[in-house]
């Protein structure tokens, strides 16, 4: 079964880089949105969406099938994805 995974990140964030590496190592397809690399209005909208989802300004903000995980929490990602 395919899951919908979106990661809101910053290109300079070490935890965001670790999240990308984790999803790549697990061969999980996901949409990675580096907010700081988007054009002004698009970046502002993505930052607003990440804040709305998380209630904070922490990164990464990972959305797995509608469940929001804030920060680098591979055990939680695995749980939501059904990875043992």
Going by the DSSP 8-state scheme, the letter that residue 1 receives in this structure is -
Mean pLDDT, rounded, for 55-72: 96
**What value, to the nearest 5°, has the Cα angle with vertex 23 and ends 76 and 13?**
85
Q: What per-residue confidence (pLDDT) applies to 2?
A: 59
Q: What per-residue confidence (pLDDT) applies to 11?
A: 96
Q: What per-residue confidence (pLDDT) applies to 3?
A: 73
**Confidence tier at 1 by pLDDT (50, 70, 90):** very low
pTM over 0.75: yes
CB atoms within 10 A of CB 65: 11
Mean pLDDT, rounded, for 28-39: 96
Mean pLDDT, rounded, for 19-41: 96
Domains of the chain: 5-81 (3.40.30.10)
């Amino acid at each position: 079964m395919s899951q919908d995974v979106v990661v809101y990140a910053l290109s300079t964030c070490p935890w965001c880089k670790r999240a990308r590496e984790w999803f790549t190592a697990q061969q999980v397809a996901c949409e990675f949105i580096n907010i700081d690399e988007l054009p002004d209005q698009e970046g502002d909208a993505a930052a607003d969406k990440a804040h709305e989802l998380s209630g904070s300004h922490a990164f990464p903000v990972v959305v797995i099938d509608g469940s929001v995980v804030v920060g680098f929490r591979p055990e939680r990602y695995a749980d939501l994805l059904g990875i043992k």
